[in-house]
Structure formats: C-alpha cells, structure tokens
Structure 1
C-alpha cells in the first residue's frame, strides 16, 4: 500500500524538492500547501495518510496547523512536524502536539517516513511499505 502524503510548507522550493524526493522513493504526494487554509481545504479531498507540517510557516504556527489538521477529521492524517531547526529547540512543544514525530528537513526521506509510521503503529510489509491502522 502506498503512503499518501500532504506537504505543508511556505517555501515553494522546499515543497517541490520534497515532492520530487519522496515520489522518487515511493511515497505518493497527494497535495502540497503553503498555509493552513490551503491544507484544510485539501485534506478531505486528498485524504493523506501523513501530513508533513513545517513548524515555521511564516506568519503561521505549524503546531496550530497540526492541531487543526487532526481536530475535526474522522480519520485524520498522522502529522510529522518538520523544520530546519533542531528538534531540541522545540522538544517541549513537539511533546504536547498531536504530531507523532519530528523530522529534520535535512533527514527527510521515504525511508525515514516509513520508519516513523512503523514505530507509530503501522504494519510493515515485506516490500518496505507501511499499512496504516
């Protein structure tokens, strides 16, 4: 089963690069958004399994965006917070957020996402894909 991903980041270049990287590694990027409104409009249509949400979305707070993405959905996406900043800079806020993990943008990969989802309770298939509960 392919993992369906939504990327929420205010940097056009990063969204394009992340999409190309992840799709090259077998993750299906079903949408990208630069802000919460755009992400919330897409979420019910594209039904991602996982949402990568940048902590610093310019004028918006990625932690609040993460809360909004999971708040009103019957089957919300699993949120992975991403940033160029170090995890330790946000450790307390990450711990109380609805995110299942933090991933540095420099460590972003299909394998990293699969590992996070597997650790969060998805069932790994022999081909390396993840079946989400």
Structure 2
C-alpha cells in the first residue's frame, strides 16, 4: 500500500484529502501544515510520497519540495505538488522543481496519483 504524507496549511483540506485518499486505498501516514513539520514527519514516518501544497501560507511549496528532496534518500520519497490554481500558472516552476509532477486539488484522487507515478516510471 502506498504511504502518503499531505502537506497543506488548510485543516479542512487535510481532513478531506485524508478521508478521500484512504477510502481509495492510499495509506495517509501523516499530515503537516508547515515546512518544518513536513521535514520532521518525513524523517519519522518515511512515506512513499508527499503531496505538497504550492502555496503553504508564507512558505513556498517549491522550496519545501527542494528541502524534502535534499533530506531524503534519492528516489525514496516522491514529491507531488498540489494547488487550487491551474498547472499552467506554475508550469515552469513545476518543471524546474524536484517534484515528480502536479495534481490540481480539484482532481486529487488515488487514480490521479497512481497515474502520475506510472507515467514517471
């Protein structure tokens, strides 16, 4: 079973995303609402993937993705960026990040995550 950490500053979104993904068969091992919490949770919980909100309050999800990438064992943690905004709003930043890809929050599902993982091999 795929183990997931969700990083978002909205407690409502964290609850809804956790419930949806767990119903669809993804094990949400934890949540975080700041970059520091995300780094700590990844170290403690060793998830397979981290869903990171691009706009995390005053923090940049792109910077958190870079920090998670630097902290983890290469290839072990895959970061997927999420946002309420459209992918084209951030296309160049997503492409330049170490993230595996992007999923809009409105389309978040186990299938969307698995499809992205399969496309990236």
Q: Same fold (TM over 0.5)?
A: yes
1:1-133 to structure 2, matched below 5 A, reads 2-75=1-74, 76-121=76-121
Q: Which runs of 4+ in 1 moved over 6 A?
A: none
Structure showing greater Rg: 1
Unpaired runs of at least 5, structure 1? 122-133
1:56-80 deviations in Å (ceiling 9; x for gaps)? 0010000000000110222541011
Taking the aligned partners of 2:90 and 2:71, their CA distance within structure 1 comes to 25
Unpaired runs of at least 5, structure 2? none
Q: Pick the structure with more helix per residue.
A: 2
Taking the aligned partners of 2:39 and 2:71, their CA distance within structure 1 comes to 10
Corresponding residue SS for 1:97? coil
1:1-37 deviations in Å (ceiling 9; x for gaps)? x000000000000000000000000000011000000
Count of residues in Structure 1 that have an aligned counterpart in Structure 2: 120
Taking the aligned partners of 2:3 and 2:17, their CA distance within structure 1 comes to 14
Query: 1:52, CA displacement in angstroms?
Result: 0.3
